[in-house]
Amino acid sequence: MMKTRAKALTAAFILFILSVKTFAADTEKIFAIISSDAQQYMLAYNGFKDTVGKNTKISVMSGTIKGGNENEIASAINSSDPLILLAVGTKALKFAKGIQGNRKIIHCMVFSEKEINDSNTAGIEFNIPESYKAEKIKEIIPNHGTMGVIYTGASEKQFLNLKKACEEKSIPLLDVKTQNGEDFPKALNRIKNRINLFMMVTDSALYYPGSVQHLFNESVNNGFGVIGLSSFYTKAGAVLSFDFNYYDVGADAARLAFEKFYNGVNGKPAESGRIVYSLNVSVAQKAGIDFSAGAVDKAAEVFGR
């Protein structure tokens, strides 16, 4: 009888162990932390969620930071105990870092170069290389002429990359370094009559509504085209802007998660697959800028037709 009881206990223990392993495998979770409900963030999240859903049975939950609800999101994360945190945007990444523990983090749409990846953290590059921009400018605007740029200490690294890219692609570049956005009009006065294009850099100290409006006004008055930072700028008066397909950014973040932490889908699309551009036809005509054949058809968005 003792042997029978021992066998029963052993069988029960084995079933218990199997059930624990099955439970752990079936409940692999990813929790997405989204910086806000802005459209671009939601597109990235949807791209991530759809790609995970098509390739795995992993459950994806989410929480959007708004109205001081960080404690609520943290509680949801602790309750669900996900294997991976997806951080969409810089604010979400900072929050995820604060509650990471032993979890893995995948991030996307993060501009800050201060965020360091490690063995438990990986992200999709969200800065469009200046070399890519220079190459596409040659392709889209063959009669590009001379390009101008204004930068501060905060954007000097981007300027140096742009300078190198322009040298490699034989694009003449005039540059002015300034201290802040207040000095922007004076800096622009030094080059506005000698350029055909003007490249904006990612610099919050330099560009704010007033300086951007001044730039667009001067571009019209002096006949040069502005290369903006997103389709928002193209719609407002830039001739060309480079941007991301945000859905594809999220999809790439999912593939990166597979590659780094799941050994599932290997690799991710080429960087150029995430980058798109927009054009403003009417602004180009006013500035005497001709787009190459097929450039308009390949644009993600076209304004001023």
- For residue 186, the model assigns a pLDDT of 96
Q: Average model confidence (pLDDT) for the chain? A: 87
- For residue 8, the model assigns a pLDDT of 45
Q: Is the pLDDT of residue 67 over 50?
A: yes
Q: What angle do CA 276, 280, 284 make, to 5 degrees?
A: 120
Q: Is the pLDDT of residue 1 over 90?
A: no
Bridge partners (DSSP) of residue 280 are: 303
What is the average per-residue pLDDT within 7-12?
Answer: 44
Give residue 261's identity as a one-letter amino acid code.
F
- For residue 124, the model assigns a pLDDT of 87
Are the C-beta atoms of 137 and 240 separated by less than 8 Å?
Answer: yes
Task: Name the CATH superfamily for 2-123.
Answer: Response regulator (3.40.50.2300)
Q: Mark residue 212 as left, alpha or beta (left: phi above 0; alpha: psi -120 to 50; beta: remaining).
A: alpha
The DSSP H or E segment spanning 55 is helix 39-55
Are the C-beta atoms of 130 and 161 separated by less than 8 Å?
Answer: yes
Percent of the chain clearing pLDDT 90 (strictly above): 73
Look up residue 186 and give its two tokens: 């004076």
- The predicted-structure confidence for 277-301, as pLDDT tens digits, reads as follows 999 999 999 999 999 999 999 999 9
Are the C-beta atoms of 274 and 248 separated by less than 8 Å?
Answer: yes
Q: Where in the chain is the domain with CATH 3.40.50.2300?
A: 2-123, 130-244+275-303
DSSP state of 89: S
Q: Is the pLDDT of residue 236 over 60?
A: yes
Q: Is the pLDDT of residue 187 over 50?
A: yes
What is the average per-residue pLDDT within 199-204?
Answer: 93
What is the average per-residue pLDDT within 16-27?
Answer: 36
Three-state DSSP class for residue 203: coil
How many other β-carbons are positioned within 10 Å of the β-carbon of residue 157?
13
* Cα–Cα distance for residue pair 197/147, rounded to 1 Å: 5
Q: Is the pLDDT of residue 7 over 60?
A: no
Bridge partners (DSSP) of residue 33 are: 63, 87
Are the C-beta atoms of 123 and 148 separated by less than 8 Å?
Answer: no
- For residue 251, the model assigns a pLDDT of 93
* Cα–Cα distance for residue pair 291/144, rounded to 1 Å: 10
Report, at the CATH architecture level, how domain 130-244+275-303 is classified: 3-Layer(aba) Sandwich (3.40)
* Higher-pLDDT residue of 260, 220: 220
Look up residue 155 and give its two tokens: 């954007």
